[in-house]
Amino acid sequence: GAGVSQSPSNKVTEKGKDVELRCDPISGHTALYWYRQSLGQGLEFLIYFQGNSAPDKSGLPSDRFSAERTGGSVSTLTIQRTQQEDSAVYLCASSLNRGDSEQYFGPGTRLTVT
Amino acid sequence: DAKTTQPPSMDCAEGRAANLPCNHSTISGNEYVYWYRQIHSQGPQYIIHGLKNNETNEMASLIITEDRKSSTLILPHATLRDTAVYYCIVRGPLASGGSYIPTFGRGTSLIVHP
């Protein structure tokens, strides 16, 4: 079946612009995660959704970052007034239920802020 | 969730078995051992997980020591495409206070050479 998909695959934006990153999880997966990965680094947790609600937003690095999930499916991560330090690969993952089963990751969106 | 320790890098000849170790000496009785890998420029990929017994699937085998303080991921016949960073993660079930946020450390960078 279809895996987790993310769009766009690459995004180049100017400093100060807003960007939206999209994640389509595997159908039926109730848990959804956003991470980011800077070059040569490990994965940094950003936010977790269970259904449409986000019980844990503790990883969002600043109030310029927000995320929503509608219909228990598609999620959008929005970064406002982008900064150069926001450049990274943004990864989305989903898991079957309650977040304690194995995660399936999308290919990521590579964001470059110039 | 318990912490894990992995060697930063390993190499293996193509066609030979790759044995990747992981120490998790503080693991508790209901925590599972998960393995993921991340091939360059891709999102992490789930490989296998286990609790007490050894596990095998089409990708790999997982050997967990009797005291559960360490485990080994075995790729029986490594290929060049197995070159990746391999992450060992320990997670407990949510119902017993385990975290729904898997913590990905630096992992082991495995290089398979011809």
Residue A100: the pLDDT is 61
With contact defined as beta carbons under 8 Å apart, do B91 and B84 qualify? Answer: no
Per-residue pLDDT of chain A (114 residues; tens, 9 = 90+): 589 999 999 999 999 999 999 999 999 898 899 999 998 788 888 988 888 887 777 789 999 999 999 888 999 999 999 999 999 999 999 988 765 678 999 999 999 999
What counts of helices (H) and strands (E) characterise chain A? 0, 11
Question: Who contacts B94 (Cβ-Cβ below 8 Å, separation ≥6)?
Answer: A98, A99, A100, B100
Which of B36, B43, B107 lies closest to A106 in CB terms?
B43
- Name the DSSP class of B5: B
Per cent of chain B over pLDDT 90 is 72
Half-sphere exposure of B110 (CA within 13 A, CB side): 29
pLDDT per residue over B21-51, tens digit each? 999 998 888 888 999 999 988 899 999 999 9
The whole-number average pLDDT for the span B5-27 is: 95
With contact defined as beta carbons under 8 Å apart, do B72 and B85 qualify? Answer: no
- Using a CB-CB cut-off of 8 Å, the residues of chain B touching A104 are 46
Asked if B105 and A42 come within 8 Å (Cβ–Cβ), the reply is: yes
Question: Who contacts A7 (Cβ-Cβ below 8 Å, separation ≥6)?
Answer: A21, A22, A24, A109
